[in-house]
Structure 1
Amino acid sequence: MTDFHTLGLSSSVLEVLEKLGFERPTDIQTKAIPILLQEDPTDFIGLAQTGTGKTAAFGLPLIDLIDTSDTAVQALVMSPTRELSQQTAKQLIDFTSNNKALNVEVVYGGANIVTQIKALKKTTQIVVATPGRLIDLIKRKAISLENVQYVVLDEADEMLNMGFKEDIDDILSYTPQDRVTWLFSATMPSEIRRIVKKYMQHPKEVSINAREKSNKDITHQYVMTKSSNKLAALRRFLDIQPDMRGIMFCRTKRETQQISDELTEKGYGAEALHGDLSQGQRDAVMKRFKSRSMQLLIATDVAARGIDVNDLTHVFHHTLPDQLESYTHRSGRTGRAGNKGISLVFINPRESRRISELEGKIKVKFERVEVPTKEALTSIRVQNWANLIQNTTVDAQADILASEVEKQFAGLSKEDLIKRLITTQLDHLSTQASEPADLNEKHGSSNTQSNGNMLRYFINVGMMDGLTKGDLIHFLSDVSGVERTLFGEVTMQKSYSFFEVDKSQASGMANNFDDIEIQGRSIRVNRDDSGGGSKRSQHQSHGRKKDKRQKPRQQFSRSRRGRR
């Protein structure tokens, strides 16, 4: 079996690895390190999923290749986020613990740039950086890349997804033509191929079977429920598995914060992680998460980059990412270090085809699971409570107090006492009376026409207005006076949306929005009986009579609405 001694690493690096407890290299390390260490440096492409040991795959060869007698910056590692940059730099520093002449510095946005400039004035051979901050430092002439021999593009696909293409082009223009470029990525989209063609010469490529390996430890599942019921469904999964610990991914910062707030209000250990938080706030959230002070982290894809936690049991997807390749990054947060994990997607009936697309793209099979019904949740909660009682160590004080309490229960039989104890547990169940007993939906149960007790409506408000589905329901509820729980499926397009409302509340629904204007634009609502929603959107956004009375403008911000 391959070990680090067979890969060509120096005795100094091997000694550090032994101290750090590294025993056997991963697949990407086994294949990449010998290539990167060869005397004639070569451009290199390493394709491997998150959590497969890529940092050591490029970091260990770098440490052996750096000339410590040269005080110039010789290696540049670019990462998409500050969290990943910090994590990478920390690991490189650990690898250089017995080489005091080699210095690693990390620079990223959100930190004091003056402090970073001072640090770079010291001898620094390896710089780990986010593209945006590195551009700032180059423009300030605080760093020179003219002696860089090695450039590492880490998580290259994510850097492109985050819009760093032009920054990467700009940064590479400051490096020597004869530098060596090592590119590591989980996927190989066309934009990555463009970089390869433009900046690399006859690169050697290693693609490990990381997808199959990681998926062995990850069970991929999905549930089908209305979009408006996704949060209720999540709560039920949290309730039946109190030991669950995971991350839920959301598309937007607003959605992330909203879900976190609603879970916190109901007593769940959840916090949000997104780009609107300061670096200090982000660090504090991650510290609490790693110390197990919370059960669930609610995060955007960008904010979650660089999170390094090996014992997550679940990854939840409130919505699938726009780029299906990003699913592998998300799901790779669980099933690490030999642990089993579950990746669970929440979809509505209209999104079922995306599961099929995903199965074809990443070559895994998704298992459909059911959201626990109220009855099942009740049974499981009570069973968990019974197991807790059975496994509780009796406190010494209990013997003293038992005789006093026993007198109060003297008139109750064992069966009556058990029933009363169970009733106290039922009183604490978190399911709301307004929630349906069964939150599951069937394939195709949500179509272009309303069904059951719901009617479907059109409104000329959409994603371009900066709304989440939750925001839209709040707005509809505030204007119409209909309780939020009586709204059903919401489908948002760029400039318009469709929503369902209980038939009992539909009378006069459209009339409630007469003369309502948002930022000078007339709001129109009507029954979706005739199709052609997008055309109506254009027709109804114009042609309002200017002499009509204008009601006070409704605000989309939740801070202006009370809670119902």
Structure 2
Amino acid sequence: MKFEEMTPIQAKSIDPIMAGKDVIAQAPTGTGKTCAFGIPVIENIDANCDKVQALILCPTRELANQIANEFRLLCKYKQNVRTLAVYGGQPMDRQIMALKKKPQIIIGTPGRVMDHLRRRTLKLDDLRMLALDEADEMLNMGFREDIDTILQSAPEEKQFILFSATLPKAIQEIAAEYQKDVERISVVKKTVTVDTIKQYYIDVNERYKIEILSRMMEVTAFKLGVVFCNTKRGVDEVCEALQHRGFSAEALHGDMKQLQRDSVMAKFRKGLVNILVATDVAARGIDVDDIDVVFNYDIPTDEEYYVHRIGRTGRAMRQGLSYTLCTPKDRSKLRFIQNYTKSKIEQAEIPTIEAIKDQQATKLIDQIKDEMGTKMPRRYKECLDRLVEEGYEQEQMIEALFKMVMKNQTMSADDRIKLEDMQPSRNTGQVGDHVRLFINLGKKDKLKDIDLIKMITRETSTPRNGVRRVDIMEKFSFFEVPNGCEDEILGVLTKQKYKGRKINVEVAQRKGGSSRKGR
């Protein structure tokens, strides 16, 4: 497999796992974890026994497939060691037939493993080893009960291996309950990002994030790009907005059926779609080497997720690129990410309309150069000959063709929006470290303090204890939120209705000042 040295996690894990110890290991993605547990698992399989001896649980179908492929490579010279991946989205009958071939190693997602246990098509009576890979992601996806059920279905005398990028309290509880004589291993990369990725951030106004993302895409030369959002709803909204602006984009998240996800990934790999909008969990299975750029539409909730995201580009020693949209409320997260990655994330400017037009002209020139070496179709040559016969000069024809092409070029950017509006503003309603906002709902709308607070915290990322000094008047109300939260509230709430009434939110007007309206 062309490996010459062990990675740190392999060097620390293989010996204790081979010795039969329970292991809890913390290591980031991309450090060689699969071989760290895969090699000992395969070495400890009794090839003369056709019972299931090892079970590997992982959060997604894509990861299950990756692990299964790696195991097949590791088993190349191991006679009679059989592996099988089981996951949702694949016909159950096909998996039942494959299970009848007596694989000794099962790699699967918790939900589908549970399905087979209920049907008794999978039995764990002879299980010797059980491994959880990406354990934190499985818990984030709500698999805790399934994991408990599977662990309780397995023999008590088994080796339990747990690998995770992070070790939250829930992971440690599982380890305390099910592991014995534990060997704890931790490997943290000294530099968790690679030198081949240029990282940038852009200060943005929450309301104009999609406009700014579109502009960045217009001026960035890329063949394949990934946009990351924190939620499935966000993925759908961003993907729809990009498609509406003429971009070739598709969504990828956990609520999609497996056939849909397979279809999207196939299009992306073939270049039929050049922009993928995805959540972190769905992106675990994106195994494409030539992704040119990553856009963080939302700053991730965890620093490790940032590493996973930008690691999708800059592979195989290619130059990668990442852009992160940073609203005022995200600035502290960005500082944490920079400290964690120990890398510099430089500030980039929002592209102007002129910059976009210049980039489009450059693309057109490149396209013309590419066409120069190709033979002109006969019908085009006939059109050109007719124009020459009618007395038109070559320069006239070229000028007219340029005008036609440039006129037909679609531009996603809205030139009515000023650059200063898209950048975080210095609002006039500032009260210390809070901003006072006006909303056109009051007592006549049967609005209460608690109703307003719930609406703000449900629809935006503003913390519950961040909404203060709520004053409900007859026809309108005032409230204060932490500095930096106002742009998201203005952008989100003004798209909503309350009991059929359209909501309007503004930064409260101060004496001698002006208010800032939501759009």
* Residues 31/409 of structure 1: CA separation in 2 closer, same or farther (3 Å cut): farther
| Correspondences of 1:374-413 after superposition (within 5 Å) | 374-397=353-376, 404-406=386-388, 410-411=392-393
**Structure 1 counterpart of 2:72:** 93
* Residues 404/86 of structure 1: CA separation in 2 closer, same or farther (3 Å cut): same
| Correspondences of 1:131-146 after superposition (within 5 Å) | 131-146=110-125
Answer yes or no: is 1:276 the counterpart of 2:255.
Answer: yes
**Structure 1 counterpart of 2:406:** 425
Give the Cα–Cα distance (whole angstroms) in 2 for the partners of residues 408 and 147 of structure 1. 87
Q: Is the 8 A contact 1:72 1:125 kept in 2?
A: yes
Q: TM-score, length-normalised on structure 2? A: 0.78
Shift in Å at residue 138 of structure 1? 2.4
Shift in Å at residue 372 of structure 1? 1.2
Shift in Å at residue 304 of structure 1? 2.0
Q: Deviations over 1:169-226 (max 9, x none)?
A: 3322222333222222222333333333333344444444536153333333211222
Answer yes or no: is 1:73 the counterpart of 2:52.
Answer: yes
Give the Cα–Cα distance (whole angstroms) in 2 for the partners of residues 104 and 492 of structure 1. 52
Shift in Å at residue 97 of structure 1? 4.0
| Correspondences of 1:246-285 after superposition (within 5 Å) | 246-285=225-264
**Structure 2 counterpart of 1:31:** 11
Higher alpha-carbon deviation: 28-37 or 260-269: 28-37
Q: Deviations over 1:138-190 (max 9, x none)?
A: 23333222322211111122112222233323322222333222222222333
| Correspondences of 1:11-30 after superposition (within 5 Å) | 17=1, 22-25=2-5, 27-28=7-8, 30=10
Shift in Å at residue 67 of structure 1? 0.5
* Residues 409/175 of structure 1: CA separation in 2 closer, same or farther (3 Å cut): farther
Give the Cα–Cα distance (whole angstroms) in 2 for the partners of residues 58 and 351 of structure 1. 37
* Residues 122/83 of structure 1: CA separation in 2 closer, same or farther (3 Å cut): same
**Structure 1 counterpart of 2:209:** 230
Q: Sequence identity of aligned pairs in percent?
A: 30
**Structure 2 counterpart of 1:293:** 272
Which residues of structure 1 form unaligned runs of 5+? Answer: 1-16, 470-488, 502-508, 532-564
Higher alpha-carbon deviation: 366-375 or 418-427: 418-427
Paired residue type of 1:27:
T
Give the Cα–Cα distance (whole angstroms) in 1 for the partners of residues 267 and 176 of structure 2. 43
Q: TM-score, length-normalised on structure 1? A: 0.72
Higher alpha-carbon deviation: 112-121 or 370-379: 112-121
Shift in Å at residue 412 of structure 1? 7.2
Give the Cα–Cα distance (whole angstroms) in 1 for the partners of residues 503 and 273 of structure 2. 43
Q: Is the 8 A contact 2:17 2:23 kept in 1?
A: no
**Structure 1 counterpart of 2:480:** none
Higher alpha-carbon deviation: 457-466 or 86-95: 457-466
State the SS of the aligned residue for 2:175: helix
Q: Deviations over 1:257-301 (max 9, x none)?
A: 222223223332211112332211111111111112111111122
Q: Is the 8 A contact 2:10 2:33 kept in 1?
A: no
Answer yes or no: is 1:367 the counterpart of 2:360.
Answer: no
* Residues 298/121 of structure 1: CA separation in 2 closer, same or farther (3 Å cut): same
**Structure 1 counterpart of 2:426:** 445
Give the Cα–Cα distance (whole angstroms) in 1 for the partners of residues 323 and 71 of structure 2. 33
Q: Deviations over 1:101-125 (max 9, x none)?
A: 2221222233333443443333121
**Structure 1 counterpart of 2:286:** 307
Answer yes or no: is 1:125 the counterpart of 2:97.
Answer: no
| Correspondences of 1:471-490 after superposition (within 5 Å) | none
Paired residue type of 1:95:
L
**Structure 2 counterpart of 1:462:** 455
State the SS of the aligned residue for 1:188: coil
Q: Is the 8 A contact 1:33 1:61 kept in 2?
A: no
Answer yes or no: is 1:210 the counterpart of 2:221.
Answer: no
Answer yes or no: is 1:186 the counterpart of 2:168.
Answer: no
State the SS of the aligned residue for 1:221: strand
| Correspondences of 1:168-183 after superposition (within 5 Å) | 168-183=147-162
Q: Is the 8 A contact 1:33 1:60 kept in 2?
A: no
Paired residue type of 2:317:
G
Q: Is the 8 A contact 1:44 1:182 kept in 2?
A: yes
State the SS of the aligned residue for 2:193: helix
- Pick aligned residue for 2:336 from 342, 350, 357: 357
* Residues 361/23 of structure 1: CA separation in 2 closer, same or farther (3 Å cut): closer
**Structure 1 counterpart of 2:475:** none
Q: Is the 8 A contact 1:238 1:244 kept in 2?
A: no
Q: Deviations over 1:61-80 (max 9, x none)?
A: 32222111111111110101
Q: Is the 8 A contact 2:353 2:415 kept in 1?
A: no
Give the Cα–Cα distance (whole angstroms) in 2 for the partners of residues 409 and 186 of structure 1. 71
Answer yes or no: is 1:316 the counterpart of 2:295.
Answer: yes
Shift in Å at residue 49 of structure 1? 2.5
Paired residue type of 1:105:
L
**Structure 2 counterpart of 1:562:** none
* Residues 393/50 of structure 1: CA separation in 2 closer, same or farther (3 Å cut): farther
Shift in Å at residue 426 of structure 1? 5.5
Q: Is the 8 A contact 2:245 2:412 kept in 1?
A: no
| Correspondences of 1:479-518 after superposition (within 5 Å) | 497-499=489-491, 517=499
Paired residue type of 2:406:
Q
Paired residue type of 1:236:
R
State the SS of the aligned residue for 1:122: coil
* Residues 244/457 of structure 1: CA separation in 2 closer, same or farther (3 Å cut): farther
Give the Cα–Cα distance (whole angstroms) in 1 for the partners of residues 426 and 401 of structure 2. 41
Shift in Å at residue 307 of structure 1? 1.8
State the SS of the aligned residue for 2:299: coil
State the SS of the aligned residue for 2:315: coil
Q: Is the 8 A contact 1:349 1:445 kept in 2?
A: no
**Structure 2 counterpart of 1:475:** none
Higher alpha-carbon deviation: 432-441 or 259-268: 432-441
Give the Cα–Cα distance (whole angstroms) in 1 for the partners of residues 136 and 278 of structure 2. 19
* Residues 187/336 of structure 1: CA separation in 2 closer, same or farther (3 Å cut): farther
Q: Is the 8 A contact 1:228 1:490 kept in 2?
A: no
Give the Cα–Cα distance (whole angstroms) in 2 for the partners of residues 408 and 51 of structure 1. 65
Which residues of structure 2 form unaligned runs of 5+? Answer: 442-451, 463-483, 511-519
Q: Is the 8 A contact 2:10 2:32 kept in 1?
A: no
Give the Cα–Cα distance (whole angstroms) in 1 for the partners of residues 241 and 250 of structure 2. 10
* Residues 111/530 of structure 1: CA separation in 2 closer, same or farther (3 Å cut): farther
